């Protein structure tokens, strides 16, 4: 029995979670080091969690530590077609009770999860993120703790705003209102390796709106998402609302996309994978496999730019390049990977980049003096280093910073800066997803033409930045690059979008631009029903114009 049916309840107004510094002598530094040592001292076996039950398939894969091949964190069970169908069945079985629950009761679960993450789980999930995907403590803190906490708190608030959005007018004797219903089937959440926050947001955003979910974490990043799933259970999430199903993309995806109950995909990953899924969904629509048109929400790749005007501040520009291109080894879809520098600033910028990258220390995440760590796995290592080798052999490019790499202990690649005289050079156009920045020098007088070049070079449109002190140059550049990015930064690096501040997403080949961390994204997981009630309905069909004169 629901005792709160006569209550109008508002959720707390969300605030961004403060970022802890992990500076020497701070309590958080001690706690994260303790968590790291504890996790390294044991191995775990991660099961599937379907309908609240742990499922072990026996098909095991290693939970890797990219910066140290000798560390064994454990193994995880991989789902097959049988287990994926079990997850779909569990999601559909949980759906009636979950969608019937009052929204503020659902909200309480996610608000509790946010507080659990901010408190007792913070250092566990941060440490798991550090070890399994090779993030330094600051990168883990802004991701696995702060951003994921923000997603939970802000999305609950956005849900409240959506439910409160009602028709403007109800002329007497009519009462008009709308329901924001969950989707009719289940949502398939497909997560990337690089952000624990994104992995956690992909299933929870639809669930907040009353949907049930099949969640596939990235195969190279199961560790922290598993602990987050356990956190959600502790927060009171009913069994079957979110089903944790690690496994290969094809094994999990093919079963989910073929299901008649499939009603939406919440995806972050590569552009080719998203395009292939869209094609598969389209064919299934054509074959009448679905009960209704699925919602397709995806954020994919980027070839993100930094564009400098001759009036730019050199040190600020160089710092943005270093942080934008090399934080988390460039493994962010928003990472800067191409830069356009005017000739008048070319040498000073390169000198400042050399000075700053020369201070970067690389190595194990447990050494907090390291700004830079390892790339995620052998496949990424080979792909990224192939681009570096290509540039080293090219006649129209030069590696001016870095270029070295070594995978003997971990998958380490040096922060690398390539310069080119060819604005269409391969590393200016193609997404690399690693610590490789390519810079092109243009003549100061060619500012407008080079802005056009920047806009036309890449099929992507995710993030970009412009650096200038001249306001007219900024205004002109903003207009010329209006469609070149979904998130645009002025005198700042093109990474680090904050929930509730910069809704994140892009268009073109970068995705559907449904803006994670905004009300717009939450609206995609609701289906509106308009309701009209007539308190005094007519009792005869005639209209006044039919009256006799």
pLDDT attached to residue 375? 98
pLDDT attached to residue 4? 58
Place of tokens 């006044």: 544
Q: What is the dihedral of CA 80, 82, 87, 89, to 10 degrees?
A: 160
Whether 126 shows a pLDDT value over 50: the answer reads: yes
User: For residues 357 and 416, what is the distance between their CA atoms, to the nearest angstrom?
Assistant: 9
User: For residues 508 and 484, what is the distance between their CA atoms, to the nearest angstrom?
Assistant: 9
- Average pLDDT for residues 408-437, to the nearest whole number? 98
Percent of the chain exceeding pLDDT 90 equals 97
One DSSP character per residue, 272-337 reads HHHHHHHHHHHHHHHTT-SSSPPEEEEE----EEEEE-TTS-HHHHHHHHHHHHHGGGG-STT-EE
55: helix, coil or strand?
strand
One DSSP character per residue, 330-384 reads G-STT-EEEEEEEHHHHHHHHHHHHHHHTT--BS-TTSTT-SB---S-HHHHHHH
Q: How many CA atoms lie within 13 A of 360 on its CB side?
A: 26
User: For residues 72 and 75, what is the distance between their CA atoms, to the nearest angstrom?
Assistant: 9
User: For residues 474 and 468, what is the distance between their CA atoms, to the nearest angstrom?
Assistant: 6
Whether 8 shows a pLDDT value over 90: the answer reads: no
101: helix, coil or strand?
coil
Whether 186 shows a pLDDT value over 90: the answer reads: yes
pLDDT attached to residue 7? 79
Catalytic annotation, residues = 299, 333
In tens, the pLDDT along 205-237 reads 999 999 999 999 999 999 999 999 999 999 999
Q: Which of the four pLDDT bands, split at 50, 70 and 90, describes residue 141?
A: very high
In the numeric block, which tokens belong to residue 218? 């990235």
Residue 438 pairs in a beta bridge with: 338, 418
Nearest one of 178, 153, 185 to 163, comparing CA atoms = 178
Whether 549 shows a pLDDT value over 90: the answer reads: no
Contact 91, 214 (CB under 8 A): yes
- Average pLDDT for residues 291-314, to the nearest whole number? 97
User: For residues 330 and 384, what is the distance between their CA atoms, to the nearest angstrom?
Assistant: 10
Residues found in the chain: 549
Q: How many CA atoms lie within 13 A of 28 on its CB side?
A: 20
In tens, the pLDDT along 535-545 reads 999 999 999 89
Contact 481, 435 (CB under 8 A): no
Place of tokens 């690389």: 362
In tens, the pLDDT along 329-369 reads 999 999 999 999 999 999 999 999 999 999 999 999 999 99
Whether 1 shows a pLDDT value over 60: the answer reads: no
Q: Which of the four pLDDT bands, split at 50, 70 and 90, describes residue 134?
A: very high
Cis status of the peptide bond prior to 241, with omega within 30 of 0: no
Output DSSP code: residue 393: H
Residue 516 pairs in a beta bridge with: 504
pTM of the model: 0.97
pLDDT attached to residue 115? 98
CATH of 27-300+511-532, one of 3.40.50.300, 2.60.120.380, 3.40.605.10, 3.20.20.10: 3.40.605.10
Q: Which of the four pLDDT bands, split at 50, 70 and 90, describes residue 86?
A: very high
pLDDT attached to residue 2? 43
Contact 153, 18 (CB under 8 A): no
Contact 205, 266 (CB under 8 A): yes
Residue ranges per domain, the chain? 27-300+511-532, 304-490
Looking at every residue in the chain, the average pLDDT score rounds to: 97
Q: Which fold has domain 304-490?
A: Aldehyde Dehydrogenase; Chain A, domain 2 (3.40.309)
Output DSSP code: residue 95: H
Percent of the chain exceeding pLDDT 70 equals 99
């Amino acid at each position: 029995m629901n005792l709160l049916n006569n209550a109008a309840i508002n959720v707390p107004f969300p605030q961004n979670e403060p970022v802890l510094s992990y500076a020497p002598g701070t309590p958080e530094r001690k706690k994260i080091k303790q968590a790291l040592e504890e996790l390294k001292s044991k191995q775990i076996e991660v099961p599937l969690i379907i309908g609240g039950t742990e499922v072990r398939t026996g098909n095991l894969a290693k939970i890797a530590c990219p910066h140290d091949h000798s560390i064994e964190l454990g193994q995880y069970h991989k789902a097959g077609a049988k287990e994926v169908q079990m997850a779909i069945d569990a999601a559909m079985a949980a759906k009636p009770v979950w969608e019937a629950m009052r929204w503020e009761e659902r909200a309480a679960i996610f608000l509790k999860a946010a507080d659990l993450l901010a408190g007792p789980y913070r250092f566990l999930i941060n440490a798991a993120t550090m070890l399994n995907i090779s993030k330094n403590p600051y990168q883990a803190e802004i991701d696995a703790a702060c951003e994921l906490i923000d997603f939970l708190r802000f999305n609950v608030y956005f849900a409240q705003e959506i439910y409160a959005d009602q028709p403007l007018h109800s002329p007497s004797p009519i009462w008009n209102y709308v329901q924001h219903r969950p989707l009719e089937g289940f949502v398939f959440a497909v997560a990337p390796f690089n952000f624990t926050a994104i992995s956690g947001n992909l299933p929870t955003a639809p669930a907040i709106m009353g949907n049930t979910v099949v969640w596939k974490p990235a195969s190279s990043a199961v560790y922290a998402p598993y602990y987050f799933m356990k956190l959600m259970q502790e927060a009171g999430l009913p069994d079957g609302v979110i089903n944790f199903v690690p496994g290969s993309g094809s094994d999990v995806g093919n079963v989910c996309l073929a299901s008649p109950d499939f009603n939406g995909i919440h995806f972050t990953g590569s552009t080719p994978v998203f395009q292939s899924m869209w094609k598969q969904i389209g064919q299934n629509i054509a074959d009448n496999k679905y009960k209704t048109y699925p919602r397709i929400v995806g954020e994919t790749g980027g070839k993100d730019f930094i564009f400098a005007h001759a009036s730019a501040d050199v040190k600020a520009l160089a710092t943005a390049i270093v942080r934008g291109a090399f934080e988390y080894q460039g493994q962010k879809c928003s990472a800067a990977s191409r830069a356009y520098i005017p000739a008048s600033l070319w040498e000073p910028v390169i000198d400042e980049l050399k000075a700053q990258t020369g201070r970067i220390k690389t190595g194990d995440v447990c050494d907090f003096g390291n700004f830079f760590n390892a790339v995620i796995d052998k496949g990424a290592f080979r792909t990224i280093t192939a681009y570096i080798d290509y540039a080293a052999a090219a006649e129209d490019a030069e590696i001016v910073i870095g270029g070295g790499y070594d995978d003997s202990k971990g998958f380490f690649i040096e922060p690398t800066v390539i310069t080119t005289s060819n604005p269409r050079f391969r590393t200016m156009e193609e997404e690399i997803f690693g610590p490789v920045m390519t810079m092109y020098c243009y003549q100061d007088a060619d500012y407008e033409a080079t802005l056009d070049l920047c806009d036309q070079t890449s099929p992507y449109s995710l993030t970009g930045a412009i650096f200038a002190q001249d306001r007219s140059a900024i205004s002109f550049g903003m207009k010329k690059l209006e469609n070149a990015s979904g998130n645009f930064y002025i005198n700042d690096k093109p990474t680090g979008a904050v929930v509730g501040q910069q809704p994140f997403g892009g268009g073109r080949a970068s995705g559907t631009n449904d803006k994670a961390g905004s009300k717009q994204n939450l609206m995609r997981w609701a289906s509106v029903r308009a309701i009209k009630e007539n308190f005094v309905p007519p009792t005869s069909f005639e209209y006044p114009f039919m009256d006799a004169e």
